[in-house]
Amino acid sequence: MLAIHFDADVNPVTQNYLCHNLSQAKKDGYAAAVIILDTPGGLLESKDKIVLCELNAKVPVLVWVGPDGATAGSAGVWIAQAADFLGMAPQTNIGSSTPIDSGGTNIGSDLRRKLINHEAASLRALAQSHGRNVQWADRAVRVATNATAQEALELHVIEAVAPTLPSLLDQAGGVKTKPRGYTLELAGAEIHHVHLGFFTRLLNTLIDPNILPLLFLAGLAGIGFEIFHPGVVLPGALGAVALITALFGFSILPISWGGLLLILLGVALLVVDVHVTTHGALTVAGLISVAVGSIMLFQNAPGYHTSKPLVIGLAVALGALWAFAMTKAVQVRHRPVAVGPQLIAGSVGEVRGQNLVYVNGELWQARTPGGEELHPGERVRVESLDGLVLTVRPVGSA
């Protein structure tokens, strides 16, 4: 028996993990696979692909909502109802399957009606084909009905309440599943557990909508720094890694291109304000553009949205940092010139050849006030600059 632990959101990363293990179960010789489920839900497209993987698995697929405290919410209800045998730990719940938008609010009326009718029919079909409560499945979508483990058992939403996984396997003994007709004989089966690996959890973390805009901005900043300061290498390398990671996340989650363009516009305005005197007007406009773009970025990804307080806080922090940098830049621009040919008078140099003097790291033509000859190796002090010729006097002379 292969026990696949699924304790994450439903998205393309976790979908690949689950589908891969379901396909491997048959190849590795397991008699059945059980999904240990604890999820708040996630993306509808990923949910549909997981359901297809369950229905097409070459071995019986059981689902156990557990351990105690776990939930099968939203998209997790479909994963549960697609199982050949479904059980729950005593202190768990299932339900709340009404589709919502990325901000956690209701979808607009026309789209909402179409989407709810479609999803309700999908869940009813799963429940009916597996011999479960069709009316409850419909209500789970239309009115976000929930059920505890015991209520779900009484309503025939599930087949068993089991405090442990071995207990679930014992209760499944001798059951003939619908619609695929497997006869389960799993009591006492040896259980091999698989969990979300480090790399999968890392990828799952990197597609957090609160992290992706930051990675994108960090990537642009790092590459921009390398362009204006070639040879530093490290900022450019880290920026490239951050940008590629952000693009990976954008390719997984359905993004709003309008939001992405607003972020790019905001970055452009911040850069322009460094070179144009606008008294901070472009900086303010750029920060607003970045903040609004970050909030809009995942409007097409139900269950995935950017935290508005986080975006506003980051915009304020970025604004403060940018204001500090701009202030320092203005101060540097107005600072008196500290180096240059006009400040060479008084410097001490060395004669390197006939009428040539090495001063402040540069080689100059030179002469003495009285036309005296200069000797190589002699130390001289610059008295004045006439065009590109220095007037010098040997050190120690009156």
**pLDDT tens sequence across 261-294:** 777 787 777 777 766 766 677 777 777 777 777 7
Bigger pLDDT: 388 vs 228? 388
Residue 342 is given by DSSP the state: G
Identify the residue with better confidence: 93 or 111: 93
**Secondary structure E strands in the chain:** 2-6, 33-37, 61-65, 71-73, 85-88, 93-95, 146-148, 160-161, 192-194, 348-353, 356-359, 362-367, 379-386, 389-394
What's the pTM value of the predicted model, to 2 decimals?
Answer: 0.66
pLDDT confidence of residue 319: 76
Report the chain's mean pLDDT, rounded to a whole number: 84
Q: What is the distance between the alpha carbons of residues 27 and 24, in angstroms, rounded to a whole number?
A: 5
The answer for residues whose C-beta is within 8 angstroms of residue 398's C-beta and 6 or more apart is: none
> What domains are defined for the chain?
2-199 (3.90.226.10), 210-331 (no CATH), 341-394 (2.40.50.140)
In the chain, % of residues over pLDDT 70: 85
Tell whether the model's pLDDT for residue 353 goes beyond 50: yes
Q: Residue 96: how many CB atoms within 10 A of its CB? A: 20
Most confident of 324-328, 330-334, 376-380: 376-380
Residues in the chain: 398
Question: Which of 133, 165, 157 is CA-nearest to residue 3?
Answer: 165
In this predicted structure, the answer to whether residue 372 has a pLDDT above a threshold of 80 is: yes
Collapsing DSSP states into helix, strand and coil, what is residue 243?
helix
pLDDT interval class at 306 (50, 70, 90): low
Neighbours of 185 (CB within 10 A): 14
- Distance CA(148)–CA(153), nearest Å, equals 9
The whole-number average pLDDT for the span 11-37 is 94
Question: Is the pLDDT assigned to residue 333 strictly greater than 80?
Answer: no
Cβ atoms 87, 64 nearer than 8 A: yes
- In a 13 Å sphere around the CA of 56, the CA atoms on its Cβ side amount to 12
Q: Residue 143 — pLDDT band, cuts 50, 70, 90?
A: very high
Q: Residue 102 pLDDT > 50, yes or no?
A: no
In this model, does residue 151 exceed pLDDT 90? yes
Give the mean model confidence (pLDDT) for residues 312-329: 73
The answer to whether residue 104 scores a pLDDT higher than 50 is no
Q: Stretch 174-185: mean pLDDT, rounded?
A: 94
**Residue 70 token pair:** 């776990």
Give the pLDDT band (50/70/90) at residue 398.
very low
Bigger pLDDT: 53 or 106? 53
Which residues, in sequence order, are CB contacts of 202 under 8 Å at separation 6+? none
Higher-confidence residue of 294 and 12: namely 12
Q: Give whole-number Cα distances, 149 to 146, 172, 277, 325, in Å.
A: 10, 16, 65, 58
- Cβ count near 33 (within 10 Å): 28
Q: Please say whether the beta carbons of 90 and 51 come within 8 A.
A: no
Taking alpha carbons only, the member of 36, 26, 20, 30 closest to residue 190 is 30
Residue predicted with more confidence, 134 or 268: 134
196 phi, psi to nearest 5 deg: -60, 120
Structure tokens at 318: 């970025």
Of the pLDDT bands very low, low, confident and very high (cuts 50, 70, 90), residue 135 is very high
The stretch 63-73 carries a mean pLDDT of 96
